[in-house]
Amino acid sequence: MHVFKHPKFYEEYRKRAKLAQKELQASQEKEAISPKQSTDRGGRAPEDLSDKPQAKATSLKPKRRAKHQASSIKPAER
């Protein structure tokens, strides 16, 4: 179902869309803060090996048991 909008609504909509497009282009054209090459190696964590034992990523987690909830049924009053 189409709802009628005043013509000024569409004028404002186009103005805002054009402004948002310009801001998006400006933000994409910004240069990096540092001109130097990034030092990130692309990994999530350092790859230094430790002599400490680590848990394996594929270890099985214990299953959680469902908790019992109290009944919400109230006894009939006498």
Across the chain, mean pLDDT equals: 76
* Whether this model's pTM surpasses 0.85: no
Name the band, by pLDDT with cuts 50, 70 and 90, for residue 48. Answer: low
**DSSP assignment of the chain:** ------HHHHHHHHHHHHHHHHHHHHHHHPPPS-SSPP---S-SS-----SS----TTPPPPPPPPPP----PPPPP-
pLDDT at 36: 67
Quick one: pLDDT at residue 72? 74
- For the stretch 54-68, pLDDT in tens is 777 665 666 666 677
